[in-house]
Structure 1
Amino acid sequence: MTTPRTTEGKILLIFYGLFGCAGAFLFFNLFLERIITFLAFILRTIHLRELRRKGLLDDGGRRNSQSSTDDDSLDSWKPSVYWVMLILFLGAVVIACCASAMYQPNERWSYFETVYFCFVAFATIGFGDYVVSQRATDRYDDVHWYRFGNFVFLVVGCCFIYSLFNVTSIVIKQLLNWIIKKLDCRCCYRPKPRARRNAITPGHINKSKGGGGGAGAGGGAPDLTDVDSNYDSEGSRRGSSEMISMRDFLQANKISLAMMQKQLYETAQRGAFRQSDGGGFQGGVGPLAILNRKLGQEDV
């Protein structure tokens, strides 16, 4: 197998691999976008032909007035991810079969071994247990054309498998979202409220007002509506010349902390789990974002 042996060659491979792999990923993403666009055009053409056959669309491409269903709207129509995955799978199988027909007589492997090599090579797994064009016992026939065909099959096969893997990730995301919805999972932990001392109104004042009306008796959250009526921003009572103790003064200064705690709790309740999102995996980065945009899977 061709590998760098000298120190200079290994250093060159590091820099070459850095930019080469980045360029390869860019090429795969461009291929993914083009092949998905092409498949969407084909599936849209089939969809239009089916609408014309049902009489829901005229020959000029305009919808008939008698059909007003939203399901057949062409503006919001997107190709099915399952059809795209099936077409990419069949394309990858055809490429693997054609490559196996070339590898089998030249490498003298069994047909199963050639199909196994195609999957490992196209998926860029690269175990190295099967390597083409490395026999040293006898010479290959037309070795240059054979290596050129190997290059073509590897590039095309990697593009198809790469696209198939990304489309399959959409299906896996749909399956996981369906499982999460069925299990009714929640991603946030909501502890049960415990009985605690009211940080707004001192405890002995609550007791003097009638006993079990405060948080110490009822266990509820602090009532922030009585803040302005009891204390001002400096902690002294309004309309009263009565001196308060240091204990009451320190507890009154906890008003800002209690208000911040309430705001954080309300924010957590709004943002921790949204019913509209279903609690599943949303969004996408890189190739997944391309597929979400092309196949209309943003809200899956």
Structure 2
Amino acid sequence: MACRGTCCCGFGPVNEDNARFVMLALLIIVYLLCGAAVFSALEHPKEKQAKERWAQRFEHFSLKHNLSKNELEKFLRYYEEANIAGIRVDTLRPRWDFTGAFYFVGTVVSTIGFGMTTPATVGGKIFLIFYGLIGCAATILFFNLFLERIITVLAYVLKSCHEIQRRRKGVLPHDSRRDSSNTGGNEADNLAGWKPSVYCVMLILCVAAIIISCCASAMYSSVEGWGYFDSLYFCFVAFSTIGFGDMVSSQRAAYESQTAYRLGNFLFLLMGVCCIYSLFNVISIIIKQVLNWLLKKLEVTCRHCPGKPFRPRRNAVVPGHVRTRRVISIDTDAVNDSETDGRRLSGEMISMRDFLAANKVNLAIMQKQLSEMANGHPRPSSSNNRQNGFSGGVGALGIMNNRLAETSVDR
């Protein structure tokens, strides 16, 4: 891990969080450079061919119809303006009737932003700024709450499967909770402390995303006339809220079973975005594990830095030699509980609790609630939360609540 004190590179004090931040920033830059190189190699030749083909067609058309290039270019600019306003050669549905506007605001608040429909008036652009500010924030909160509930369901299901498996092996009695209440058996206590694996949750979300994408692609390929691979491409671009706009669903003026198709399109987009959003959050935990592994490998180099020897801070995630390694899992205990008895050092690579506690990202609150439901015995919230009213919250809201709670307690 990073050492504390002054770094040999001359960048001043270094701690684990700063080292992790710098490492992630460098990896993202490298990732961007590699992506740019790959896409440039794949797409640039196609772009050059299309440009040459267009120049030949433009020249041939101007000669055939005896039109000057300036007049033809002016006409094409008029068409580009009409295209921005939603006018196409093919007959498409109205962009700004109620259904078209509803589709547009859906792409706004979901942050997909296909770009097929954009406001052209000054009033529409000004209204979009305020509308999107509130709508996007509310939708992100909805995605966070969806993630909270999907983790609750997964935690309950996985715990039930684990309990059934232990009963079949004879490790756990068939009426474990009653027996544990009477005898306080260690088996039941161990089961109560059991946590679902991060990798298992990621696998389930990945399978769910694949199933939704495949079903949606079958619908789009049959209704829109796209190829199946193109439909899969559209699903990822839409569900991940990238929203290039090169392919957009439900844009024709009429479809067979139009109402059913538009309802299916809406539901697939909603489920896909929620599922991919949840998957991205879980994958971010895996990325954090990779960063910890890389920083552990760089620890030998950092030992040569002058300054104080490496001492892990409170709330730091440290390598396995500092503490006994454990199974990677989603820890569902509250962050506030760890505040009262001191934050433990994590030897795992890495648990959900350590990841969230180290960065004060209070999806841990979400996971606490879901684990309580899975274990069947909710724990009371901490006194600080009750006194200051900052309990609950996930994602960015959880960060804000915790910071406000800490400030209130300090004062």
Query: Does TM, scored on the shorter chain, surpass 0.5?
Result: yes
Q: Per the alignment, do residues 112 and 269 of structure 1 end up closer, same or farther by CA in structure 2, a change over 3 Å counting?
A: closer
Give the Å deviation of 1:118.
0.2
Q: Per the alignment, do residues 9 and 50 of structure 1 end up closer, same or farther by CA in structure 2, a change over 3 Å counting?
A: same
Q: Per the alignment, do residues 164 and 185 of structure 1 end up closer, same or farther by CA in structure 2, a change over 3 Å counting?
A: farther
Contact persistence 2:172–2:187 (CA under 8 A): no
What is the match of residue 141 of structure 2? 26
Matched position secondary structure for 1:78: coil
Give the Å deviation of 1:270.
7.4
- The answer to whether the aligner puts 1:80 opposite 2:202 as a matched pair is no
Q: Which of 202, 208, 216 pairs up with 1:91?
A: 208
Contact persistence 1:88–1:160 (CA under 8 A): yes
Q: What is the aligned-residue RMSD (CA, Å)?
A: 3.4
Q: Per the alignment, do residues 271 and 68 of structure 1 end up closer, same or farther by CA in structure 2, a change over 3 Å counting?
A: closer
Matched position secondary structure for 2:358: coil
Q: Distance in 1 between matches of 2:139 and 2:159?
A: 30
Q: 2:206 corresponds to which letter in structure 1?
A: F
Give the Å deviation of 1:142.
2.7
Q: 1:20 corresponds to which letter in structure 2?
A: G
Q: Per the alignment, do residues 125 and 286 of structure 1 end up closer, same or farther by CA in structure 2, a change over 3 Å counting?
A: farther
Q: 1:152 corresponds to which letter in structure 2?
A: L
What do residues 94-126 of structure 1 show as CA deviations (whole Å, max 9, x unaligned)?
A: 111111111112211100000000001000011
Q: Which of 73, 96, 100 pairs up with 2:217?
A: 100
Matched position secondary structure for 1:73: helix
Matched position secondary structure for 2:165: helix
Contact persistence 1:117–1:130 (CA under 8 A): yes
Q: 1:108 corresponds to which letter in structure 2?
A: G
Contact persistence 1:28–1:162 (CA under 8 A): yes
Give the Å deviation of 1:180.
2.2
- The answer to whether the aligner puts 1:159 opposite 2:274 as a matched pair is yes
Q: Which of 208, 219, 226 pairs up with 1:109?
A: 226
Matched position secondary structure for 1:160: helix
Q: Per the alignment, do residues 131 and 290 of structure 1 end up closer, same or farther by CA in structure 2, a change over 3 Å counting?
A: farther
Give the Å deviation of 1:2.
2.5
Q: Distance in 1 between matches of 2:233 and 2:155?
A: 30
Q: Distance in 2 between matches of 1:292 and 1:187?
A: 35
- The answer to whether the aligner puts 1:283 opposite 2:358 as a matched pair is yes
Q: Per the alignment, do residues 287 and 156 of structure 1 end up closer, same or farther by CA in structure 2, a change over 3 Å counting?
A: farther
Q: 2:266 corresponds to which letter in structure 1?
A: F
Q: Distance in 2 between matches of 1:68 and 1:287?
A: 30
Q: TM-score, normalised by structure 2?
A: 0.47
Query: Which blocks of at least 5 consecutive residues in structure 2 are unaligned?
Result: 1-115, 323-344, 372-411
- The answer to whether the aligner puts 1:124 opposite 2:199 as a matched pair is no
Which structure 2 residues correspond to residues 1-300 of structure 1 after superposition, within 5 A? 1-62=116-177, 73-135=190-252, 139-184=254-299, 190-191=305-306, 271=313, 276=345, 283-286=358-361, 288-289=363-364, 293=368
Give the Å deviation of 1:87.
0.6
Q: Distance in 2 between matches of 1:290 and 1:161?
A: 21
What is the match of residue 395 of structure 2? none
What percent identity do the matched residue pairs reach? 54
Q: Distance in 1 between matches of 2:118 and 2:365?
A: 35
Q: Distance in 1 between matches of 2:300 and 2:234?
A: 41
Q: TM-score, normalised by structure 1?
A: 0.63
Give the Å deviation of 1:177.
1.4
Q: Distance in 1 between matches of 2:159 and 2:313?
A: 38
Number of equivalences: 220
